[in-house]
């Protein structure tokens, strides 16, 4: 759906969304489009008797059935049937709407009733196909079942049957399913992509991908719950729109949504009291060992719950149990008072909290959440373990909650504060992180082992990087820590292995510091030695160093070596598990390596890896992901694809206290609009950039410099090229050949011969296709070498860098015209014509460029090149012969060809 900025105000967008929220069937058409199409295809098959729409409660089965019948009403006779909860005890209960229309003499016995119903349906249909829908089919009485089977078998009508599970259907229907005379259409939970499509259709305007995925997490893919959730959040004002972009606070939950409460309460109250109590206990515990549950509640009740599909049992060795419907747990938990939660906790935890070595991580997190909800404190060991696991799952806020209220104990306090400091860093709050570390006394830190001390220092060094006055303090901190480590090693108080691991941690902190400043040349040699060590003291530290090394190699012009290391690390680092810090460092640096190598599509694929889109990650880093997506597109020259993500990123950044990347979002957005030829919007975002805080590190500053200067160059500001050259020379002085080359490619669109020679020289210090493109483009532009320019265009095309390819082709076209290379000129013009639909504003416009073919001229040219006559072309396209002749004249003129044979060769 297009962005509606400028077309209507935000209030109109909200009004339109509220109107769409009330149309349940329209919602089903969007989110169940694939299933509806499958069902319609099955109903159209002459060999079928109908379809069975199955799925969990509230998955939208009835809405799908209604859509199917609504769509068929124009061509078929439709009847809607419904069996009540008492249907099995009422003869013909499901057919009462038809039975009531039969004359009394047609109701003497089952045989006459059946014939009467068949005749009634045939009469009403009047020769059209008849289709009947049937809900709550598991309540069918025998006579209704027999009649409906006869209706299907005789071809009198087809059925659209709604059932939770196919196994609930009457036995007489099972053979039809087994022989596929009835086709099952199962409705599953929506996947994230379906949710994204549905929410964007529902809300209109611009829905950030991260917001849609937050809503997916809240609804757990249940379409009805998603619709109710969006409606409630809109009414509450939690889901808001500003400047045409929808935003949602990261801590939004579904508690207190009345319609969800009613939905769950109706299901909850169907169960007897003893099962309701088990549901309440599991809602509080989230997940618990089956042994503990069975020792508290009756086995027959648990067996009944399993038969009813209420329980999800992990079939591993531990057999951990949770509610099958997590939404039910969320809603039921919200009903319970603190005293009731405590009562249930005392019931299940009569012997106290289980030892850490007897529970899984998920059980531990459930136990920690339960304790928080009861206003109780976990034992310190449990709190520390729960906080560490929360950080591994990107849930920094819950990690802080787990540690809330932990009393100061010298033996555990440094660990507690380290975890708190790490959580604040995940939340991009470095000053709060430093405040936590400051609360650890020198005596408490001295009592720690060398590894713990080094970890503490590394966290402080990371936090210091993000505060303006922290650079000098970081160097002093690391130097002091090394001295302290030498003193400790001299006392023999710790083992050589511990001292070596602590030294490796301090080395890593130093590597990260210099990488943050962009001084890769200072550390690349030490990084190579660390990564090549056959016996590393700590594998996690080695992998972290390797992640820095792959970025260092790339920035320093060793792009192919950087890519090779990236592929090695991809096989060694699992983004779905492992320490949080290692995963984030690898993912961030891998994105840079791919983007700086021109592999923007692979960079996008990396961003969409499942762990990156987890709900907890989105709550803290969703805006950063949106920004990275937009950045990949603008580097590829696809501003039109970048704008949505970048507008989403800026809207999300502006709602968070930590907006260290807001400046980069503004610069990238300006560049995207400039690529679109929208000069006023580009200037607006460049103006907003001036109000943002300066970038804290080299990486962000480099991206900002490039995007802002390129935006200025694209909209024609006279000093933009000089800004890019100056920035490139600064990179050259530090050996950063890759970013220098990228900036010089942008600077030399109308560059002098000296600038082109500088670009050639820089690219000679680099590796890979981007380097070859830059070198050949510079040399081809400077010397008029068509071979170089064509090769550069081919390489750019292989990377799908459309804007760069168009520049190479435009320069080649001018050169070809100058030296009268007609064939090359035609080829390059055809290349530009192809790119015209993807590159809105060409970075270089050929000085002698012919007019581009119109869409109709392209259609005529394609048919003529295939040998079609003018008359046949006219018939195919619905034109007059004279019009076709006119179009061909324009085609031949624009392409400088004179025969259809030449036209075919050209195309």
DSSP of 691-732, one letter per residue?
TSPPPSSHHHHHHHHHHHHHHHHHTT-TTHHHHHHHHHHHHH
| Nearest Cα to Cα of residue 11 among 229, 337, 234 | 234
State how far the Cα of 466 lies from the Cα of 514, in Å rounded to an integer: 13
Judged by DSSP in three states, 20 sits in: helix
**Tokens 């050169």 sit on residue:** 815
418 and 460 Cβ atoms separated by less than 8 Å: no
State how far the Cα of 173 lies from the Cα of 138, in Å rounded to an integer: 11
pLDDT 10s digits, 50-108 = 999 998 877 888 899 999 999 998 889 998 887 655 545 677 777 888 888 888 777 77
Mean pLDDT on 583-588 = 86
Q: Which residues contact 507 (CB under 8 A, 6 or more apart)?
A: 526, 530, 541, 545
| Nearest Cα to Cα of residue 650 among 667, 633, 634, 675 | 667
State how far the Cα of 807 lies from the Cα of 792, in Å rounded to an integer: 10
Please say if the pLDDT value at position 138 is more than 70. Answer: no
Token couple for 215? 């809503």
Please say if the pLDDT value at position 557 is more than 50. Answer: yes
pLDDT 10s digits, 704-749 = 999 999 999 998 898 999 999 999 999 999 999 999 999 999 999 8
Give the bridge partners for 158, in sequence order.
131
Long-range contact list for 409-414, CB < 8 A, 24+ apart?
A: 409/380, 410/443, 410/444, 410/447, 411/447, 412/380, 412/381, 412/384, 413/440, 413/444, 414/440, 414/444, 414/445, 414/448, 414/452, 414/456
State how far the Cα of 812 lies from the Cα of 282, in Å rounded to an integer: 70
pLDDT given for residue 875 in this prediction = 83
pLDDT 10s digits, 626-638 = 899 999 999 999 9
| Per-residue DSSP letter, 88 | G
Give the bridge partners for 81, in sequence order.
134
| Nearest Cα to Cα of residue 152 among 36, 52, 41 | 52
Token couple for 208? 């950030």
Q: How far does Cα 459 stand from its chain's mean position?
A: 29
Please say if the pLDDT value at position 843 is more than 70. Answer: yes
State how far the Cα of 220 lies from the Cα of 260, in Å rounded to an integer: 13
712 and 737 Cβ atoms separated by less than 8 Å: no
**Tokens 């690529």 sit on residue:** 675
Angle 24-31/10-21 helices, nearest 10 degrees? 90
Cite the residue boundaries of each domain of the chain with CATH code 3.40.50.300. Answer: 32-187
pLDDT 10s digits, 416-446 = 999 999 999 988 899 999 999 999 999 999 8
Token couple for 460? 């402080």
Sign of torsion over alpha carbons 51, 56, 62, 63: negative
Cite the residue boundaries of each domain of the chain with CATH code 1.25.40. Answer: 614-627+656-835
Token couple for 733? 């002085």
Q: Which CATH number fits domain 855-906: 1.50.10.20, 1.10.10.10, 2.70.70.10, 1.10.4030.10?
A: 1.10.10.10
Q: How far does Cα 900 stand from its chain's mean position?
A: 49
Whole-model pTM over 0.85:
no
Q: How confident is the model at residue 1 (pLDDT cuts 50, 70, 90)?
A: very low
Token couple for 730? 């600064």
pLDDT given for residue 567 in this prediction = 93
| Nearest Cα to Cα of residue 264 among 23, 56, 84 | 56
Instruction: Please report, rounded to a whole number, the percentage of residues in the chain having pLDDT higher than 70.
Output: 93
| Nearest Cα to Cα of residue 333 among 232, 236, 261, 238 | 261
190 and 198 Cβ atoms separated by less than 8 Å: yes
Lowest mean pLDDT among 388-402, 805-819, 823-837, 889-903: 889-903
SS3 content of the chain, % helix, strand, coil (to 5): 65, 5, 25
Q: In what helix (H) or strand (E) does residue 633 lie, and over which residues does it extend?
A: helix 615-635
**Tokens 């598990």 sit on residue:** 577
Higher-scoring residue by pLDDT: 829, 844: 829
> Which CATH architecture best describes the domain 614-627+656-835?
Alpha Horseshoe (1.25)
State how far the Cα of 175 lies from the Cα of 154, in Å rounded to an integer: 16
CATH topology of domain 32-187: Rossmann fold (3.40.50)
| Nearest Cα to Cα of residue 843 among 892, 806, 877, 791 | 806
Token couple for 95? 């057919």
pLDDT 10s digits, 350-400 = 777 888 888 888 889 989 999 998 888 889 999 999 999 998 888 889 999
Q: How far does Cα 585 stand from its chain's mean position?
A: 19
State how far the Cα of 462 lies from the Cα of 470, in Å rounded to an integer: 10
């Amino acid at each position: 759906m297009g962005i509606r900025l400028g077309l209507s105000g935000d209030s109109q967008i909200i009004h339109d969304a509220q109107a769409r929220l009330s149309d349940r069937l329209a919602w089903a058409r969007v989110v169940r489009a694939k299933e509806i199409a499958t069902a319609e295809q099955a109903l159209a098959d002459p060999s079928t008797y109908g379809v069975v729409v199955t799925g969990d409660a509230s998955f939208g089965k009835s809405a799908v059935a209604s859509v199917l019948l609504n769509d068929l009403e124009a061509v078929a006779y439709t009847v809607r049937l419904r069996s009540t909860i008492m249907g099995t005890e009422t003869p013909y209960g499901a057919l009462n709407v038809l039975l009531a229309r039969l004359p009394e003499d047609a109701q003497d016995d089952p045989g006459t009733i059946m014939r009467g119903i068949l005749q009634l349906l045939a009469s009403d249909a009047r020769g059209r196909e008849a289709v009947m829908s049937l809900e709550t089919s598991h309540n069918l009485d025998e006579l209704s079942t027999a009649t409906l089977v006869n209706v299907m078998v005789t071809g009198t009508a087809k059925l659209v049957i709604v059932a939770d599970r196919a196994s609930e259907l009457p036995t007489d229907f099972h053979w039809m399913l087994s022989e596929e005379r009835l086709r099952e259409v199962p409705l599953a939970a929506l996947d994230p992509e379906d949710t994204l499509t549905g929410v964007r259709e529902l809300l209109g305007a611009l829905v950030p991908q991260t917001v849609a995925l937050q809503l997916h997490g809240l609804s757990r893919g249940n379409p009805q719950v998603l619709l109710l959730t969006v409606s409630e959040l809109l009414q509450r004002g939690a889901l808001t729109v500003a400047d045409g972009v929808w935003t949602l606070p990261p801590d939004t939950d579904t508690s207190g949504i009345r319609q969800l409460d009613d939905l769950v309460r109706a299901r909850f109250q169907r169960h007897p009291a003893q099962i309701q109590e088990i549901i309440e206990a599991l809602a509080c515990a989230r997940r618990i060992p089956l042994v503990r549950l069975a020792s508290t509640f009756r086995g027959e009740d648990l067996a009944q719950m399993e038969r009813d599909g209420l329980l999800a049992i992990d079939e591993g060795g531990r057999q951990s149990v949770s509610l099958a419907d997590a939404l039910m747990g969320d809603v039921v938990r919200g009903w319970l008072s603190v005293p009731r939660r405590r009562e249930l906790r005392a019931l299940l935890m009569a012997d106290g909290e289980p030892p850490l070595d007897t529970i899984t991580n998920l059980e531990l997190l459930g136990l920690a959440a339960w304790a928080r909800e009861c206003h109780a404190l976990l034992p310190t060991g449990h709190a520390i373990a729960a906080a560490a696991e929360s950080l591994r799952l990107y849930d920094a806020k819950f990690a802080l909650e787990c540690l809330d209220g932990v009393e100061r104990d010298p033996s555990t306090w440094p660990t507690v504060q380290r975890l708190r400091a790490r959580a604040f860093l995940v939340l991009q709050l470095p000053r709060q992180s430093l405040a936590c570390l400051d609360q650890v006394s020198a005596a408490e830190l001295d009592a720690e082992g060398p590894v713990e001390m080094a970890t503490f220092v590394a966290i402080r060094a990371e936090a210091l990087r993000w505060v303006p006055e922290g650079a000098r303090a970081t160097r002093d901190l690391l130097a002091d820590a090394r001295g302290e480590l030498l003193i400790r090693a001299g006392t023999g108080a710790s083992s050589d292995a511990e001292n070596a691991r602590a030294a490796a941690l301090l080395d890593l902190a130093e590597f990260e510091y210099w990488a943050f400043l962009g001084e890769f040349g200072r550390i690349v040699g030490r990084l190579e030695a660390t990564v090549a060590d056959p016996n590393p003291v700590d594998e996690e530290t080695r992998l972290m160093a390797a992640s820095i090394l792959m970025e260092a190699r790339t920035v320093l012009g060793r792009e192919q070596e950087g890519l090779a290391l990236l592929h090695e690390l991809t096989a060694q680092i699992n983004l779905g598990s492992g320490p949080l810090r290692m995963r984030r460092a690898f993912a961030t640096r891998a994105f840079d390596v791919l983007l700086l190598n021109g592999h923007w599509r692979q960079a996008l694929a990396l961003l969409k890896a499942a762990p990156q889109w987890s709900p907890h990650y989105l709550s803290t880093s969703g805006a950063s992901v949106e920004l990275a997506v937009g950045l990949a597109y603008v580097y590829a020259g696809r501003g039109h694809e970048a704008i949505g993500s970048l507008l989403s990123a800026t809207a999300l950044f502006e709602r968070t206290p930590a907006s260290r990347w807001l400046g980069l979002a503004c610069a990238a957005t300006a560049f995207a609009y400039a690529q679109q030829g929208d000069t006023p919007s580009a200037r607006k975002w460049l103006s907003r950039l001036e109000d943002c805080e300066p970038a804290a590190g080299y990486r962000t500053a480099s991206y900002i410099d490039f995007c802002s200067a390129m935006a200025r160059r694209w909209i024609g500001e006279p000093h933009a090229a000089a800004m890019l050259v100056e920035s490139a020379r600064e990179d050259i002085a530090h050996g950063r050949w890759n970013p220098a080359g990228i900036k010089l490619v942008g600077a030399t669109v109308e560059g002098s011969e000296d600038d082109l020679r500088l670009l050639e020289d820089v690219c000679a210090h680099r590796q890979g296709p981007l380097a070859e493109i830059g070198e050949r483009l510079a040399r081809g532009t400077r010397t008029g070498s068509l071979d170089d320019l064509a090769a550069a265009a081919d390489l750019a095309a292989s990377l799908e860098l459309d804007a760069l390819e168009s520049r190479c082709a435009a320069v080649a076209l001018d050169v070809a015209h100058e030296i009268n290379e007609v064939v090359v000129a035609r080829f390059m013009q055809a290349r530009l014509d192809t790119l015209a639909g993807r590159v809105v504003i060409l970075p270089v416009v050929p000085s002698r460029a012919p007019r581009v073919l119109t869409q109709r001229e392209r259609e005529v040219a394609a048919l003529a090149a295939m040998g079609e006559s003018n008359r046949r072309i006219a018939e195919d396209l619905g034109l007059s012969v004279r019009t076709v002749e006119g179009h061909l004249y324009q085609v031949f003129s624009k392409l400088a060809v004179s025969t259809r044979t030449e036209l075919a060769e050209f195309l």
